DNA sequence: TTGAAAGCGCTAACAT
DNA sequence: ATGTTAGCGCTTTCAA
């Protein structure tokens, strides 16, 4: 097939290329008859614009990028669902990039933004990784989701992680647990740092303290990393009677380790997670967790980004959404 | 910042834009001194090409699209990991699109391919959805992964789903189960149709047959859909003694339903899944399943696609990889 | 080894 | 309401 262009459409319908462009983009006035004729011709040849030419001229790609540290965590899938919903309403396509939380991967997609290959980025990568890009992010349509730096001039949406962790620990203490351990994520993640802060604060507020060796950092974010971290906790001379994990993935891994050594949940040791992924209700017992409003986080991030794209000069705003304690059998 | 262009770089270094282009793309001969001077200038201003202009001219975007029906299923995350690995080795970025298995979404990304916004597509959407695009897919760099039509002139990689299901059922029969039910996915998916075929064949081969009402189609692909489907099976007058589910997601949902009515797994009823997602070992008991070589499926799909991109005229080939039976406690 | 110049297909002034 | 035209920033012959 010879590549169709608007020239070709113009020739076939006997109008000018400008008119064809107007019909396609819905810009400017076009007579009803002309419009129909052109549209018919476009449909007949199933013609579609060369987006490169269009974007080169207009500097608009109608593409949004979502940068995700780990597609294997279903939590992110839900956030993306929210992003998709909000973006499509405004005619944008969303492309997801699995960066593995690596700066150099992130940088590659950052280039796409600078190149105008994408109109904006929603980044869920570790706060410190985003930081590594310097202040360029503040100048471009870049929105931080879940992981953010309040002090950076970048719009963000997330939850109050310290507060959420505080609530989780306070709840555990209320249930009578005293030796509460923490399986944390990589401190490059804001959520890891903040949740640890909330965890420690809640203990302090109750006149308790973290058990010796009771705060471990998981090697990575997968289930298996939670299992290994929990194994270390279970080997402590003074074994914890409860474990808070920084994500459900880690928590579910921890449950595995606990079962392996023949302990019962929650009788011998309680487990609590973060995120409320669908699998949290499929473990036995069900996993108590701190739910994040995942879909709404995504929707909100997309809205902030589209605002930023449409009004680049307005000051960037930050939004915090509410978390919710979900109690199941594991505590 | 005033938008940098190769003109600007050319002006600053006192060479022509052609030379700058050559340096950037590594095409053509350039003197060592000139090259260094240009590269230094590019680095200093952290200049990067306008990809639209570049792609408009060269009709190459160095972008690959992965179309996925459900990002919430961790199985796809692993396939994508494989795709990423193979693609990056050849300098391609991969963008993931969550289509929700909807034709119109798929079509939108198909447009991106026609527009040259992407150089190729790896599609994991239902075979019938891909089919709906007509034979255009055969003419463009399009590869089917997991879901394919042997008769279409589209390269593909997947497993022998009928064979895999046959093996699963034969194994269940060998364990002594007789009333084996099937929770199937939407028949738009090849895997659903093929797995049902293998399931029925294995029963026939053993002189058995599917129990009355023992084949149900889940409303969708999520865990919850498996739970609902299983509930229907458990309400049958002649209750199955084993359930094969077309995916681990559905199987885990089924386990939920079984537990809800107070039955034991596998004593009262066995459960077997498909895919071997990480959560399959986190259920209690662990979920027996038919593993797909997810990462390798992705790698292979990416290789096929890059082959197709680099040699468009070569006949398309199909690849089948091996499945593997994983036995855990649920059977 | 380097440069000049012709577009790639489209949008957006500006004309009419 | 419609057409003409000047580029958007780059790649790639073709000449030098």
| pLDDT tens digits along B70-111 | 999 999 999 999 999 999 988 899 999 999 989 888 888 888
Distance of CA B294 to the CA centre of its chain: 8
Judged against a pLDDT cut of 90, whether residue B323 lies above it is answered with: yes
Distance between CA atoms of residues B329 and B91, nearest Å: 43
| A224 contacts: CB under 8 Å, gap ≥ 6 | A253, B278
Kindly report, residue by residue over A88-124, the tens digit of the pLDDT.
998 899 999 999 989 888 888 888 888 788 999 999 9
A18 interfaces chain B, CB cutoff of 8 Å: no
- In the 39-68 stretch of chain B, whose C-beta falls under 7 Å of nucleic acid strand D? 49-50, 53-54, 56-58
Distance between CA atoms of residues A30 and A21, nearest Å: 10
Domains of chain A: residue spans and CATH: 6-49 (no CATH), 58-158+294-321 (3.40.50.2300), 161-291 (3.40.50.2300)
pLDDT of residue B67: 95
In this prediction, residues B172-180 reach a mean pLDDT of 97
Q: B48 and A284: CB-CB below 8 Å?
A: no
Q: Are A79 and A294 contacting, i.e. CB atoms less than 8 angstroms apart?
A: yes
Confidence of residue B229 (pLDDT cuts 50, 70, 90): very high
Distance between CA atoms of residues A15 and A197, nearest Å: 67
Q: Are B148 and B190 contacting, i.e. CB atoms less than 8 angstroms apart?
A: yes
Distance between CA atoms of residues A275 and B242, nearest Å: 33
pLDDT of residue A117: 86
Confidence of residue A46 (pLDDT cuts 50, 70, 90): confident
Confidence of residue A59 (pLDDT cuts 50, 70, 90): confident
Radius of gyration of chain B (CA): 25
Under the phi-then-psi rule, with left for phi > 0, alpha for psi from -120 to 50, and beta for the rest, what region is B114?
Answer: alpha
Distance between CA atoms of residues A80 and A67, nearest Å: 10
More confident residue, A57 or A223: A223
In this prediction, residues B315-321 reach a mean pLDDT of 92
B115 interfaces chain A, CB cutoff of 8 Å: yes
- In the 56-95 stretch of chain B, whose C-beta falls under 7 Å of nucleic acid strand C? 56-57
Name the one residue in this structure whose structure tokens are 């199985």: B75
| B176 contacts: CB under 8 Å, gap ≥ 6 | none
State the sign of the Cα–Cα–Cα–Cα dihedral B120, B121, B127, B133: negative
Kindly report, residue by residue over B98-145, the tens digit of the pLDDT.
999 898 888 888 888 887 889 999 999 998 887 877 777 777 899 999
In this prediction, residues A164-188 reach a mean pLDDT of 97
Distance between CA atoms of residues B249 and B185, nearest Å: 11
Please count the other Cβ atoms lying within 10 Å of the Cβ belonging to residue B248: 28
Judged against a pLDDT cut of 60, whether residue A312 lies above it is answered with: yes
Distance between CA atoms of residues A196 and A189, nearest Å: 11
B279 interfaces chain A, CB cutoff of 8 Å: yes
Confidence of residue B327 (pLDDT cuts 50, 70, 90): very high
pLDDT of residue B2: 63
Distance between CA atoms of residues B24 and A131, nearest Å: 27
Identify which of B302, B328, B257, B262 has the alpha carbon closest to the alpha carbon of residue B91: B302
The token duo for A107 is: 């940088």
Confidence of residue A2 (pLDDT cuts 50, 70, 90): low
Strand order in the sheet with B120-123: A318-321, A156-159, A142-145, A120-123, A63-68, A93-98, B93-98, B63-68, B120-123, B142-145, B156-159, B318-321
B109 interfaces chain A, CB cutoff of 8 Å: yes
Q: How far is A52 from chain B (nearest CA, A)?
A: 5
Percent of chain B surpassing pLDDT 90: 65
Kindly report, residue by residue over B6-45, the tens digit of the pLDDT.
888 888 998 888 888 898 888 878 888 888 888 888 888 8
From residue A17, alpha-carbon distances to A38, A42, A59, A250, B306 in Å are 10, 13, 20, 58, 35
Least confident of A26-30, A186-190, B206-210, B261-265: A26-30
Distance, Å, B53 CA → D11 C1': 9
Interface residue of A279, A286, A287, A330 to substitute, partner B, most B CBs within 10 Å: A279
Confidence of residue B194 (pLDDT cuts 50, 70, 90): very high
Distance between CA atoms of residues A310 and A303, nearest Å: 10
Could you tell me which chain B residue has the CA closest to the CA of A283?
B283
Tell me phi and psi for residue B216, to 5 degrees.
Answer: -120, 145
Judged against a pLDDT cut of 90, whether residue B293 lies above it is answered with: yes
In this prediction, residues B55-67 reach a mean pLDDT of 88
In this prediction, residues B243-265 reach a mean pLDDT of 97
Question: Residue with CA nearest C6 C1'?
Answer: B57
- Which residues pair with residue A270 across a beta bridge? A242
pLDDT of residue B51: 87
Confidence of residue A18 (pLDDT cuts 50, 70, 90): confident
pTM of the model: 0.92
Distance between CA atoms of residues A201 and A209, nearest Å: 9
Question: Residue with CA nearest D6 C1'?
Answer: A57
Distance, Å, A96 CA → C5 C1': 40
Compute the mean pLDDT over every residue in chain B, rounded to the nearest whole number. Answer: 92
pLDDT of residue B148: 93
Under the phi-then-psi rule, with left for phi > 0, alpha for psi from -120 to 50, and beta for the rest, what region is B189?
Answer: beta
In this prediction, residues A295-303 reach a mean pLDDT of 98
| B273 contacts: CB under 8 Å, gap ≥ 6 | B245, B247, B248, B250, B251, B252, B280, B287, B288, B289, B290
Please count the other Cβ atoms lying within 10 Å of the Cβ belonging to residue A32: 7
pLDDT of residue A313: 80
The token duo for B271 is: 């459960």
Identify which of B97, B59, B66 has the alpha carbon closest to the alpha carbon of residue B81: B66
Look at residue A48 and give its three-state secondary structure: coil
Distance between CA atoms of residues A69 and A118, nearest Å: 19
């Amino acid at each position: 097939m010879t590549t169709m262009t608007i020239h070709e459409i113009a020739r076939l319908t006997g109008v000018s290329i400008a008119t064809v462009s107007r019909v396609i983009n819905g810009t400017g006035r076009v007579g009803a008859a002309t419009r129909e004729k052109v549209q018919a011709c476009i449909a007949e040849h199933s013609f579609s614009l060369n987006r490169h030419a269009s974007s080169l001229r207009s500097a608009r790609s109608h593409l949004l990028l979502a940068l995700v540290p780990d597609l294997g965590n279903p939590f992110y899938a839900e956030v993306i669902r929210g992003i998709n919903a909000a973006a499509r309403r405004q005619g944008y396509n969303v492309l997801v990039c699995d960066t593995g939380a690596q700066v150099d991967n992130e940088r590659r997609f950052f280039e796409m933004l600078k190149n105008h290959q994408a109109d904006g980025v929603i980044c869920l990568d570790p706060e410190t990784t985003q930081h590594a890009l310097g202040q360029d992010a503040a100048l471009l349509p870049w929105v931080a989701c879940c992981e953010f730096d309040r002090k950076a001039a970048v719009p963000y949406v997330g939850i109050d992680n310290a507060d959420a962790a505080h609530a989780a620990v306070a709840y555990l203490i209320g249930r009578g647990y005293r030796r509460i351990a923490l399986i944390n994520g990589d401190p490059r993640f804001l959520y890891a740092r903040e949740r640890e802060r909330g965890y420690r604060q809640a203990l302090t507020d109750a006149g308790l303290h973290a058990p010796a060796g009771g705060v471990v950092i998981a090697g990575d974010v997968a289930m298996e990393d939670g299992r290994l971290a929990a194994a270390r906790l279970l080997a402590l001379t003074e074994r914890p009677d409860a474990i808070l994990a920084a994500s459900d993935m880690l928590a579910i891994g921890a449950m595995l380790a606990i079962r392996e050594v023949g302990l019962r949940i929650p009788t011998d040791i309680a487990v609590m997670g973060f995120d409320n992924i669908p699998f949290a209700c499929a473990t036995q017992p069900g996993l108590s967790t701190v739910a994040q409003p995942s879909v709404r986080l995504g929707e909100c991030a997309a809205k902030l980004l589209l605002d930023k794209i449409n009004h680049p000069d307005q000051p960037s705003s930050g939004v915090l959404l509410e978390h919710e304690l979900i109690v199941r059998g594991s505590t």
